[in-house]
Amino acid sequence: MPELPEVETIRNALREGQDGYPSLLGLKIIDARVYWSRTLATPTVEVFQDRIRGQIIEELGRRGKYLIFYLSSDSMLIHLRMSGDLFLEPLNIELAPHHRMTLEFQEGFRLAFNDTRKFGRVWLVEDPQTVIGDLGPEPLDAEFTSQVLWQLLQSKRRQLKPLLMDQKFLAGLGNIYTDEALHMAKLHPLSNSQEISRTQCEVLWHSIRQVLKEGIRRNGSSIDWVYRGGDFQNYFRVYGRSGAACPECGTAIKRIIVGQRSTHFCPRCQPLAAGANVD
């Protein structure tokens, strides 16, 4: 958390403007302040502040769960990890607890990176591919077809849930949207990727894209004190609904641990194939 829809929602807000603040496109960064040095994966605090000062934000992009600021000379990438968030706020207000970095603009406001758990990271690099070059396909890109997914599934022999969450396999899916997509596709989270039929793969491909698009349409999911503003949590099929009735068949939703992550599914709608290897 946040996953692809939440990061895309933040990107859209910063790119289009929100809450009375203008778009960040075309704005010059007049200063940068780092309040916890390990927020920066690279470079050092001194180099970061010196290099980013005076650069103009030319475009805002996203790759998987990474937010990308394309600057006039460099690229700044932010991964929010477990508890990161970005705020626009006036320069003259007191810094909130857990602000790890801020960028200041001559228009009188700043962009603040707030991260309670300190897992989020920031990179300032010449080439963003040095950070994101090993990510898997972007699930909403036109180039990501059901045939591509089928070939990827057949190239591995892994359980579906952890495989879909592997960012080198497919970029952007996390715990929430993987559970939701698997339920929509009626696939058990422990199913073996090589045992998925071509027809099942087609349904899974549609399901992944559908839940992500719906998550973006609803501005993501707000399920705790970290991310705010979305309402997709009101439409969850299975995630976080252990013991509640499945919206498809009424069976109680089950919670198990897969790869150290809570996993929610319907045992009736998502049966595990007989003889399946769940190791």
Domain ranges of the chain: 4-132, 146-265
Give the pLDDT confidence of 111-169 residue by residue, as tens digits. 999 999 999 999 999 999 999 999 999 999 999 999 999 999 999 999 999 999 999 99
146-265: in CATH 1.10.8.50:
yes
Q: What is the separation of C-alpha 124 from the centre of its chain, rounded to a whole number of angstroms? A: 20
Rounded CA-CA distance 209/203 in Å is 10
Query: Is 2 annotated as catalytic?
Result: yes
Where residue 55 falls (left for φ over 0; alpha for ψ -120 to 50; beta otherwise) is beta
Does 10 have pLDDT greater than 50?
yes
Active-site residue, 3 included? yes
Higher pLDDT among residues 19 and 268, named by residue:
268
Choose the catalytic residue: 158, 261, 268, 271.
Answer: 261
**What are the strands, taking DSSP E only, across 35-170?**
40-42, 57-63, 66-71, 75-79, 84-90, 99-105, 109-115, 121-125
Q: Which of 5, 6, 63, 65 is catalytic?
A: 65
**Could you tell me which residue, 279 or 78, shows the higher pLDDT?**
78
Catalytic residue at 65? yes
The CATH class, in words, for 4-132 is: alpha beta
273 contacts 267 by C-beta, under 8 angstroms: no
Whether 71 shows a pLDDT value over 50: the answer reads yes
Per-residue pLDDT, 220: 86
- How large is the average pLDDT for residues 267-277? 82
Range in 158-172, 210-224, 258-272 the model is least confident about: 210-224
Residue 222 has pLDDT above 50, yes or no: yes
User: Residue 279 pLDDT more than 50?
Assistant: no
Per-chain mean pLDDT for the chain: 94
Question: In the prediction, which pLDDT does 276 show?
Answer: 58
pTM of the model: 0.94
Say how far apart CA 75 and CA 81 lie, in whole Å: 19
Instruction: Check residue 236 and give its pLDDT.
Output: 95
